[in-house]
């Protein structure tokens, strides 16, 4: 049960923003019959029996304090958010880690959905400014190309990604882009056209920050279950199976984008012949 992970020379910290909107599982996973949830109902839902994701980012930095300070995703943003009336706390969570917005040198966007880009830009008097003023922002080029097409609607992209171009801080990436020695993006397309994970390798250990490769712990065991948010379920399933297989076989630690805080970092282990989640 941890929110902070040491990987060789690096540390990965969870940066909480806000609890996500609770929804019925049948709404999020319309193709999964309710009876199929039965084996997972104790671990898959909140106390009211609903699907509820957590909105967050992750911080990757060296333990010796040198080198880049990388923020992977920026949560849902300032709010106040409708279902709680409360504000997002990403900047407060960063502050508790001793990190100011001006310390961040790179912002990696796993994908351009609203709950991952919310703090990218701060709007004041109708004008946007980069919340992390000295950071290069790295969405995937595939997402940038797709969502910047005329006629493709994504209000969060318009509000929190598009303005970065004119600020000169936008640096879209493709393939396995090196952010720091041993730290790279890892394309896992399907949830969106340019969904990417971030892989951290150091001292013989590997962790991978998975964005929206999966949204619920049941998907570790049921890897072909797809939420309605997936852009192409054939591709998201292929990416999920590929990455989860590698993580299981090579003992990677998986740092999930949306599992409940305290149980969101774990390994994929074999349990009775099926992959299962084991928090670290």
Residues that bind Zn ion (CB under 5 A): 115, 212
Q: How far is the CB of 53 from Zn ion (least distance, A)?
A: 6
Give the nearest distance from C-beta 229 to Zn ion in angstroms: 7
Residue with smaller CB distance to Zn ion, 3 or 110: 110
Rounded-to-integer distance, Cα 130 and Cα 227, Å: 31
Cα angle, residue 4 at apex, residues 58 and 225 outer, rounded to 5°: 60
Kindly tell me which of 115 and 143 has the beta carbon lying closer to Zn ion. 115
Give the shortest CB-59-to-Zn ion separation in angstroms.
17
- Residue placing its CB nearer to Zn ion in the complex, 116 or 138: 116
136 or 191, CB closer to Zn ion? 191
At residue 181, what are phi and psi to the nearest 5 degrees? -55, 120
- Cα 2 from Cα 136, distance rounded (Å): 29
Shortest Å distance, C-beta 87 to Zn ion: 19
Q: Are 176 and 187 in contact (CB under 8 A)?
A: yes
Under a CB-based contact definition with an 8 Å cutoff, are residues 117 and 123 in contact?
A: no
Peptide bond before residue 80 is cis, with ω within 30 degrees of 0 = yes
Looking at the chain, how many residues does it have?
A: 280
Q: To the nearest whole angstrom, how small is the minimum distance from the Cβ of residue 6 to Zn ion?
A: 26
Where would I find the H helices in 89-232? 90-96, 114-117, 141-147, 155-160, 163-167, 218-221
Residue 17 or 212 with smaller CB distance to Zn ion: 212
């Amino acid at each position: 049960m941890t929110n902070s992970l040491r990987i060789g020379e690096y540390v990965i910290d969870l940066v909480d923003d806000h609890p996500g909107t609770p929804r019925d599982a049948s709404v999020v996973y319309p193709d999964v019959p309710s009876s199929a949830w039965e084996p997972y109902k104790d671990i898959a839902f909140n106390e009211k029996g609903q699907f509820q994701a957590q909105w967050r980012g992750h911080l990757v930095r060296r333990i010796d304090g040198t080198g880049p300070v990388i923020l992977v995703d920026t949560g849902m943003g300032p709010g106040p958010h409708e279902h709680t009336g409360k504000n997002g706390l990403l900047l407060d969570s960063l502050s508790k880690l001793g990190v100011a917005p001006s310390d961040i040198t790179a912002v990696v966007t796993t994908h351009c959905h609203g709950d991952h880009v919310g703090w990218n830009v701060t709007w004041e008097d109708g004008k946007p400014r980069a919340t992390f003023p000295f950071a290069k922002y790295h969405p995937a080029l595939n997402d940038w190309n797709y969502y910047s097409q005329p006629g493709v609607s994504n209000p969060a992209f318009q509000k929190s990604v598009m303005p970065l171009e004119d600020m000169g801080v936008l640096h879209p990436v493709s393939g396995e882009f090196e952010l720091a020695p041993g730290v790279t993006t890892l394309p896992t397309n399907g949830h969106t056209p340019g969904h990417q994970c971030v892989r951290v390798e150091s001292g013989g250990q590997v962790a991978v920050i998975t964005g929206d490769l999966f949204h619920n712990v049941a998907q570790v065991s049921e890897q072909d279950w797809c939420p309605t948010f997936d852009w192409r379920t054939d591709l998201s399933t292929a990416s999920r199976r590929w990455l989860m297989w590698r993580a299981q076989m090579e003992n990677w630690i998986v740092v999930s984008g949306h599992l409940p805080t305290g149980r969101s970092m774990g390994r994929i282990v074999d349990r009775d012949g099926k992959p299962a989640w084991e928090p670290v």
